[in-house]
Structure 1
């Protein structure tokens, strides 16, 4: 036997990354959508919580705060739902499960 036949050959097709399957993509999309829904839900809840909060007189308030408060609340909601550890607010796993169940039908 020669050295060429005993040495394993390198096949670039085997080393190339494989495309994700439809099921994996579906699960990932459902997870992403569930997180986005959870973030939007928390943002709406925070909007109502911040309605009664008045702006500081010295360093806050004015037109700028009125314009950007909704963006700040959206970021608070994203931070709440994307906490380290992946626990989030707690409704994303239920939403993801419901989305996947609807896809099965």
Structure 2
């Protein structure tokens, strides 16, 4: 798999068949990918939020404080995603499941390894 496929395909082609029927396995893969993406998004949001506020002088300034904050943020992310998150995962999952209805996208190779449509400029 080359970089173009990684950029243009949210899930590997083996998991979601282009133009095929959606199976339960596809739905599980889409749900997992959507939840992971939402978790990454929430984690980045928390990190950005922490950077906007001042340092807590009670907790300390060392590396241990950074590790503690990172671990705490990871637990916050888990809790948010397990409780339904921000609603992004449901929307992303729906779009990933709809994706097999697309006949072919530029830059995505079909099962024979050919790209029937020319890549856009």
- Shorter-chain TM-score tier: 0.5 to 0.7
| TM-score using structure 1 length | 0.64
For 1:101 and 1:76, how far apart are their aligned partners in 2?
30
Structure 1 unpaired stretches of 5+:
1-21
Structure 2 residue matching 1:51: 3-state secondary structure: helix
Question: Is residue 92 of structure 2 the alignment partner of residue 92 of structure 1?
Answer: no
Task: Give 5+ residue unaligned stretches, structure 2.
Answer: 1-21, 103-121
How far did residue 41 of structure 1 move?
A: 0.5
Find the structure with the greater CA-based Rg.
1
Q: SS at 2:52's partner residue?
A: coil
Q: After superposition, give the CA deviation of every residue in 1:51-102 in whole Å (9 maximum; x if it has no partner).
A: 134444444331112244333312211211112xxx3221111000111111
Q: TM-score normalized by structure 2?
A: 0.57
- Residues 38 and 92 in structure 1, CA contact (< 8 A), matched pair in contact too: yes
Instruction: Please tell me the root mean square deviation across aligned C-alpha atoms, in Å.
Output: 2.0
1:56–1:70 CA distance, 2 compared to 1 (3 A): same
4+ residue runs over 4 A deviation: none
> By percentage of residues, which structure has more helix?
1
Which residue of structure 2 aligns with residue 34 of structure 1? Answer: 34
